[in-house]
Amino acid sequence: MNILVIGGGGREHTLAWKLSQSTQTDKLYAIPGNPGMAEIAECVSEISISDNDALVSFALEKKIGLVVVGPEVPLTNGAVDAFTKVGIKAFGPTKLAAEIEGSKAFSKDLMKKYGIPTARYEIFTDADAARSYVEQEGAPIVIKADGLAAGKGVIVAMTLEEALAAIDEIMCDKAFGSAGSRVVIEECLIGEEASLLAFTDGTAIVPMVSSQDHKRAFDGDEGPNTGGMGTYAPAPVVTPDILARVQKEVLEPVIAAMQQEGRRYQGCLYAGLMITTEGPKVIEFNARFGDPETQVVLPLLESDLVEVMLACVEGRLKDVEVQWSKEAAVCVVMAAGGYPKAYHKGDVITGLHEAESVGDLVFHAGTAARDGSIVTAGGRVLGVVAKGSDIRAAVAKAYAGVAKIHFSQAHYRKDIAHRALERLH
């Protein structure tokens, strides 16, 4: 069948790479795609991922049998609903179901209603009321823009001054636009973070391999929050016991809750977790594959991704056996200097094939083709991924690949998977 991937980042390159391995895939298309995806898919940059009518017209014209929606914006914009309406199978939640990511207030209220473990919180639309609450609660405290903010709308304030500045930045200065007209303020959970993605058809739930993202820009988890500077899988903090608890206390109740609320959830559900002394608690839900978690999770998937996705769309996931590698995978994100603040674009990238020749996978996140060269075109430029028999082997191999790649002011963390490595000592 012909398959369309919507999106153009590292997550979508990874999805396209895995989908291309299926015997069911005849031709891959990507909107807009990127230079890395262009090696396996026909990229179409003229269509906006937010233009549902244009997306549907393209899918009908190319006789697309399955659409895979990568980013959150088209999901919250109802892309899956638009494809389904004309009889095209689309992997991802409907607009109503995607609100679990589109509104943090909706998500928190849902968890409260159905007893899903999460941080204590309050919701504010008035900046003065938000400031009063923060002054009463003290720090550390977490301030979140309610709407979509490309992974950057969360500020973990360690001091009262930082918390008050965050409220001003989000609510008054509109740093994240209308996404910040409402904020969620919640207690700062203490523990170790982990990500657990799951396939679901609205009833059956299949967890993927656990992973851990590195959100801070600099080594030692210092500096500003980014979209993610690297990740690894599996995450040792998610023990078999913790995984069983997440399945029973988080995944099963939230999928049942969404069904109860008339928002049947199909696709990939991402649970961002804090593993506390009291057990796992939900930091956030996302309505799609994580970025960069996908870059380490999918290389460990041994089953046919097309078959798994069709089973989710068709409501028969319980009949499919999903198998995973026992290996580990590590992704090091190579970013432009200055990211997540102002950064330069247009720098020539060299060494991509050399990195692949040492056995690494190189997923493009923010690149462009220009005059026969690949150049930087985003904050997170590349995800360099390696598999190994264990985390230590995968880390060594990933950094061997990173060493082969060069572009001006390239910035990357040198301590990806440090928590896992510390557990090995």
Q: What are the pLDDT digits (tens) for 58-100?
A: 999 999 999 999 999 999 999 999 999 999 999 999 999 999 9
HSE-up (13 A, CA, CB side) for residue 169 = 16
Beta strands (DSSP E) in 51-174 are 64-69, 89-91, 121-124, 141-145, 154-157
Band of pLDDT at residue 408, cut at 50, 70 and 90:
very high
Residue 101, in any domain of the structure:
no
Contact 35, 391 (CB under 8 A): no
Q: Shortest CA distance to 362 belongs to which of 1, 40, 4, 23?
A: 40
DSSP string covering 46-84: SS-TT-HHHHHHHHHHTTEEEEEE-SHHHHHTTHHHHHH
3-class DSSP assignment, residue 404: coil
Structure tokens that stand for 176 in this block: 């994240």
CB neighbourhood size of 168 (10 A)? 14
CA 323-203-20 angle, 5° bins: 40
Residues 218 and 314 in one domain: yes
Look up the pTM and report it.
0.94
Residues 234 and 351 in one domain: no
Residue 248, in any domain of the structure:
yes
Residue 120, in any domain of the structure:
no
Residues 172 and 226 in one domain: no
Contact 363, 404 (CB under 8 A): no
Domain limit, last residue, from 181, 200, 221: 181
Contact 269, 255 (CB under 8 A): yes
Residue 187, in any domain of the structure:
no
The confidence score (pLDDT) of residue 152 equals 66
Band of pLDDT at residue 384, cut at 50, 70 and 90:
very high
Residues 270 and 336 in one domain: no
Bin 100: left if φ > 0, else alpha if -120 < ψ < 50, else beta: alpha
Q: Shortest CA distance to 244 belongs to which of 192, 303, 196?
A: 196
CB neighbourhood size of 89 (10 A)? 19
Residues 342 and 392 in one domain: yes
Residue 383, in any domain of the structure:
yes
Residue 344, in any domain of the structure:
yes
The confidence score (pLDDT) of residue 156 equals 87
Domain limit, last residue, from 268, 295, 319: 319
Residues 209 and 172 in one domain: no
The confidence score (pLDDT) of residue 64 equals 98
The confidence score (pLDDT) of residue 151 equals 61
Domain limit, last residue, from 158, 181, 204: 181
Band of pLDDT at residue 424, cut at 50, 70 and 90:
confident
Range of the domain at 18: 2-92
Contact 352, 377 (CB under 8 A): no
Question: Any idea which of 156-165, 244-253, 272-281 has the lowest mean pLDDT?
Answer: 156-165
Residue 14, in any domain of the structure:
yes
d(CA 315, CA 308): 11
Residues 32 and 149 in one domain: no
Calculate the average pLDDT of the chain: 95
Total domain count, the chain: 4
Residues 82 and 137 in one domain: no
